Amino acid sequence: MLHPDRLFPADAATRRIARRLYDVIRDAPIVSPHGHTDPVWWGENPAFPDPAALFVIPDHYVTRMLVSQGVTFDALGIGSDADPRAVWRVFAQHYHLFLGTPSRMWLDHAFNDLFGLTETLSPETADAQFDTISAALADPAFRPRALYDRFNIEVITTTDSPLDDLAHHRAVAASDWTGRVLPTYRPDPVADPEFEGFHANIRALGDLTDTDTGTWQGYLDAHRIRRAFFNANGATATDHGHPTAQTADLPASVASKLFADILAGAGDAELFRAQMLTEFARMSVDDGLVMQLHPGSRRNHHSGIHATIGRDRGFDIPGTTDYVSALQPLLNAVGMDPRFRMILFTLDETTYARELAPLAGAYPSLLLGPPWWFHDSFEGIRRFRQTTTETAGFWNTAGFNDDTRALCSIPARHDVARRCDCAFLADLVTTHRLSEESATELAPLLANGLARRAYNLETEA
């Protein structure tokens, strides 16, 4: 089910090189500096309820594909109740839809490696496999903390609202479990005027920090206070999920006026988000938190699905994303500051060679994040390396991160990325663009070294 040579180049000599490189890193610890696992898992270490709840219902990669071929959300128990076994059978019945996709690769990896399944999921095997996984989930060895250890994770980060009290992170720190689970400061709920509940969130931020978030300075101070709190609880990074990469660097009085307009329900939301990116960049200069920018998704494309089923159900569609003009105000402000670091992600692959690699290959503050979301795949990783390496090299990239809420997929995702990087390096070696000696030094950097370096995770916080 999992071929030892999977994802390695077809050419036999190149494949042998890829194997040798992979042997160096196959067992390297997982550094996961950006993801969406639930802090409850780490703080409370609960059992996962059932196979459908673990593999199907919460995974928008999986549900969108099923829906795209006519499965209803109802049949998946989304927006309604459904018997987990019935959901699992629907999943099994449509498992062929995933042929050729990374989801299939991650799922097969987890089924085989974690649960010992050796047959392909299908209507015939569905029930037995449901039972096997269900039985395993009742075993303490399949609880989150045990999986963390089993997966050889060195550090994992979550993504958290400024309003979060980080209780689960503190519970982990106070426990005798040795896992390292760090928060990430994601201020969208209190920085994006179009976020649901924005105004209430602003007030809550004021209460939490004892500042007057009705004023521009109070609002900025509140962020500084929460960032310090996150920092004290191990955070090394912030994350920003804007629709575009637009930044602005308005005079303080204009920014202050804009904030007042926004609070009054007027004001240009896009301009406010743009200004906030530059404000957050200045805060990063001061407090050292690494800034991550994840722009370009047009969220909730179908209004009816959004209204009835909610967010994150596969109806977030990428669009064209400009970086070169959009980032100019921020980069002119702090882009050459040696204390600043920003990691750029994209859903618009046309920007890899055209904008992102040239930017990261010039500005000392910029690093390129790994292929994101739809592009975290064999072909996606190959395109990323092929279109960025010649201009930005390897050291201007931030290594791999899994960006997932699907805990069981984490080993598979890192394994796929490592195999793809070894395949890419092996191709450079075969075509004499790189010595095998250099490739052997680069492989561990790509596996986790660059991620540790990019996110300041080299030593315990």
User: Minimum distance between the CB of residue 270 and a second copy, rounded to whole angstroms?
Assistant: 15
Report in angstroms how near the CB of residue 96 gets to a second copy at its nearest.
8
Task: Compute the distance between CA of residue 300 and CA of residue 323 in angstroms, rounded to an integer.
Answer: 23
Cα(191)–Cα(255) distance, rounded to whole angstroms?
A: 13
d(CA 341, CA 285): 8
CB 438 to a second copy: min, Å: 6
Tell me how many degrees the CA angle 64-373-413 measures, rounded to the nearest 5. 100
Handedness of CA 415, 418, 424, 426 (dihedral sign): negative
Least distance in angstroms from the C-beta of 353 to a second copy: 6
Q: How far is the CB of 318 from a second copy (least distance, A)?
A: 5
Quickly list DSSP for 108-158: HHHHHHTT---S---TTTHHHHHHHHHHHHTSGGGSHHHHHHHTTEEEEE-
Q: Which is nearer to a second copy, 94 or 226 (CB)?
A: 94
| Cα–Cα distance, 460 to 397 (Å, whole number) | 22
Nearest approach, Cβ of 439 to a second copy (angstroms)? 9
Residue placing its CB nearer to a second copy in the complex, 259 or 363: 363
- Rounded CA separation 385/26 (Å): 20
Q: Which is nearer to a second copy, 25 or 381 (CB)?
A: 381
Q: Which is nearer to a second copy, 238 or 389 (CB)?
A: 389
Tokens describing residue 237: 């990074």
Closest to a second copy by CB, 164 or 316: 316
Task: Name which of 174 and 307 has its Cβ closer to a second copy.
Answer: 307
Nearest to residue 223, comparing CAs of 141, 143, 161?
A: 161
Q: Minimum distance from CB of 433 to a second copy (Å)? A: 6
Q: Which is nearer to a second copy, 107 or 166 (CB)?
A: 107
The conformational region for residue 300 under phi > 0 = left, psi -120 to 50 = alpha, else beta, is: left
